[in-house]
Amino acid sequence: MKTKVLWIQGLACNGNAHSFLTYSKLEQFLDDFEFIYHPIIDSKFTLSDIVNNFCECEILLIEGSIADDYKRSHKSIVEIIKLYAPHVKKIVTVGTCATFGGIFKDSPYENSSGFLYLEKEKIDKFLEYEDKVISVSGCPVHPEVLVNTLYMIKDKLELPIDTFHRPKEFFSFTVHNGCTRNEYFEYKVDNHNFGEKEGCMFYDHGCQAPFTNGSCNKILWNEVNSKTRVGQPCMGCTEPEFPRINLYETKKNMGIPQYLPFGVPKRAYLTLSGVAKAFKISRLEEELF
């Protein structure tokens, strides 16, 4: 039997809805799930139907940040969520805006935030539904991570979550894990031009992957690629503070990056980087030029 799913949008750019459309096995997905409403895919009900009457569904997907005075089809987004949240089995926040507030947390709308969080801070807007929440952050959401999460819910599989309700299956390691540039990271060789195949982008170009949870280098986008593989730094889009300013710059204090890889104390970093710098691996340096 198809699982009924409702996809509603708060303050959003449609990016997650579009990203979802790139899922390579979408037809198969639609054999197993039915959208009672989706902003782009043909669905059973109109937006006006679903905001004015409760239409039966099992999973509520929320895209975009939620502001007290923001409306869809003349109804407050908060009221729409409260119409469905008590009845569904799970609430999935799709993308970073719905999870942490994202770029819209600075919008002129009132109290714009994620569903449970404003950046790292837990808020009480929908706290009573906390037990149902699964967060799939990302800007945009990784379609395969979203779909696999939905299948895990449908198949009633165990779904351990981290402190921000993100499934550990996809968020318990960093984007640095699986990057093809790890050897350059180890020996502190940065790359010098965007788009180059060689070099690590942590030391000068702002790559946030060592402190960003996600599976972009383990589950490739469109099954072929990731940002860091094409020579673009990870911007940390799955994390509460996204977006930071100066995305392509590594902020440093006395030559030491301000943000260090998760779990690496500053003292250990200094020791390791001192040792790594002592090596001049000509094979790695030469590949850059």
Residues that bind ligand SF4 (CB under 6 A): 138, 175-176, 179, 181-182, 185, 200-202, 207, 209-210, 212, 214, 216, 226-228, 234-235, 237-238
Residue with Cβ nearer ligand SF4 (15 or 210): 210
Residue with Cβ nearer ligand SF4 (53 or 246): 246
Residue with Cβ nearer ligand SF4 (134 or 207): 207
Residue with Cβ nearer ligand SF4 (51 or 200): 200
Residue with Cβ nearer ligand SF4 (210 or 240): 210
- Shortest gap between Cβ of 231 and ligand SF4 (angstroms)? 9
3-class SS of residue 222:
coil
The span from the CA of 57 to the CA of 37, in Å, is: 10
Residue with Cβ nearer ligand SF4 (72 or 166): 166
- Shortest gap between Cβ of 266 and ligand SF4 (angstroms)? 17
Contact 236, 211 (CB under 8 A): yes
- Shortest gap between Cβ of 200 and ligand SF4 (angstroms)? 3
DSSP 8-state class, residue 244: P
- Shortest gap between Cβ of 36 and ligand SF4 (angstroms)? 29
Contact 35, 7 (CB under 8 A): yes
Q: Which residues contact 289 (CB under 8 A, 6 or more apart)?
A: none
3-class SS of residue 180:
coil
- Shortest gap between Cβ of 56 and ligand SF4 (angstroms)? 34
Rg (CA), the chain: 21
The span from the CA of 22 to the CA of 19, in Å, is: 5
Within 55-158, residue ranges assigned H as helices are 77-84, 96-100, 143-154
Residue with Cβ nearer ligand SF4 (64 or 214): 214
Amino acid letter, 65: S
- Shortest gap between Cβ of 95 and ligand SF4 (angstroms)? 11
The span from the CA of 99 to the CA of 116, in Å, is: 7
The span from the CA of 173 to the CA of 215, in Å, is: 7
Q: How far does CA 34 lie from the centroid of its chain?
A: 24
Q: Which residues contact 126 (CB under 8 A, 6 or more apart)?
A: 81, 85, 115, 116
3-class SS of residue 269:
helix
- Shortest gap between Cβ of 93 and ligand SF4 (angstroms)? 16
